[in-house]
């Protein structure tokens, strides 16, 4: 059993293929997936999909690169997070790749979402692109980590250095690897992955983006998380069943989800 800890299958182009996407999940033994919101409007779509399927969950939050989204406030996020299928706040964080100037609004958006996560005690989905040092600093300042009584969370689509990973883990965060780790030019990231203990690791697709080898450049989907799991097991030299089991257990633990279907997608689902 595998779990896709971060995907966007609620995006319109993916919804058009939903029967196929869910059938492929089942075929690849992917039992659960988390539909991660990138804006307040997007959160309603993620939640609507999660409400239809017992093995899908949703988040509420605003991506750091989305200038076209209304700014979130703590009260709105906490209210939306009361829904039982909403298990996290995010994705949030900082993105200096897409935002080159005037970054203070991005910092404030990040702080607001950390405060909301603390208020509702839901973990954070953290996006960091060319901004890892500031991400860690703001997480520390706002008490995001379990070491300061915060909710913790996961560093999604991790593509940073080992010191950044260690700083995040010291705050109680998990490290999640996407299809990027399978790319031939990702040697440094692969070294980082080898150093991350299984008890702090998750795997994800970030679909429809970043499809793993051999589908690089094509539309990604949750079924492909199995390929990431297989690659990671070989990379780390551990049995595949152990890697799948540990990363799945971490998902259930972090997001406080009962493991009601440890042997696969619940019967009767596509």
Residue-wise pLDDT for 25-70, tens only, equals 999 999 999 999 999 999 999 999 999 999 999 999 999 988 888 8
> What's the pLDDT score for residue 263?
37
The residue extents of the domains of the chain are 2-254
Look at residue 261 in the predicted model and tell me its pLDDT: 47
| pLDDT value, residue 260 | 53
Tens digit of each residue's pLDDT (9 = 90 or more) over 153-205: 999 999 999 999 999 999 999 999 999 999 999 999 999 999 999 999 999 99
Q: Using an 8 Å Cβ cutoff, are 243 and 233 in contact?
A: yes
168: which residues sit within 8 A by CB, 6+ positions away? 126, 136, 139, 155, 175
CATH number of 2-254: 3.20.20.140
Q: Which two tokens stand for residue 164?
A: 């950044």
Task: Name the pTM for this structure.
Answer: 0.94
Q: What is the pLDDT of residues 77-93, one digit of tens each?
A: 999 999 999 999 999 99
Strand arrangement, sheet containing 124-129: 2-7, 30-35, 56-60, 86-95, 124-129, 153-155, 173-177, 201-203
Return the closest-CA partner of residue 247 out of 147, 177, 157: 177
CA distance 230 to 244: 9
Spatial distance between the Cα atoms of 9 and 50, rounded to a whole number of angstroms: 10
* Tokens 């750091």 found at: 64
């Amino acid at each position: 059993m595998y779990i896709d800890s971060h995907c966007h299958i609620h995006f319109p182009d993916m919804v058009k293929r939903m029967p196929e996407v869910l059938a492929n999940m089942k075929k690849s033994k992917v039992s659960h997936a988390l539909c991660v919101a990138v804006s307040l409007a997007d959160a309603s779509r993620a939640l609507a999909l999660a409400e239809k399927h017992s093995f899908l969950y949703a988040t509420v939050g605003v991506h750091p690169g989305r200038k076209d989204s209304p700014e979130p406030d703590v009260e709105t996020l906490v209210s939306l997070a009361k829904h039982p299928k909403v298990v996290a706040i995010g994705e949030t964080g900082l993105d200096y790749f897409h935002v080159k100037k005037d970054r203070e609004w991005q910092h404030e958006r990040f702080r607001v979402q950390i405060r909301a996560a603390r208020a509702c005690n839901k973990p954070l989905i953290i996006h960091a692109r060319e901004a890892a040092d500031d991400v860690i600093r703001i997480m520390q300042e706002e008490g995001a980590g379990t070491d300061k009584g915060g909710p913790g969370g996961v560093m999604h689509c991790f593509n940073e250095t080992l010191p950044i990973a260690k700083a995040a883990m010291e705050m109680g965060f998990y490290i999640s690897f996407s299809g990027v780790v399978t790319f031939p030019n990702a040697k440094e990231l692969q070294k980082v992955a080898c150093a991350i203990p299984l008890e702090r690791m998750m795997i994800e697709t970030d679909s429809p983006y970043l499809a793993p080898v051999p589908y690089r450049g094509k539309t990604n989907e949750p079924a492909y998380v199995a390929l990431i799991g297989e690659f990671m097991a070989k990379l780390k030299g551990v049995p595949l069943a152990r890697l799948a089991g540990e990363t799945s257990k971490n998902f259930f633990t972090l997001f406080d989800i009962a493991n009601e279907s440890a042997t696969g997608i619940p019967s009767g689902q596509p």
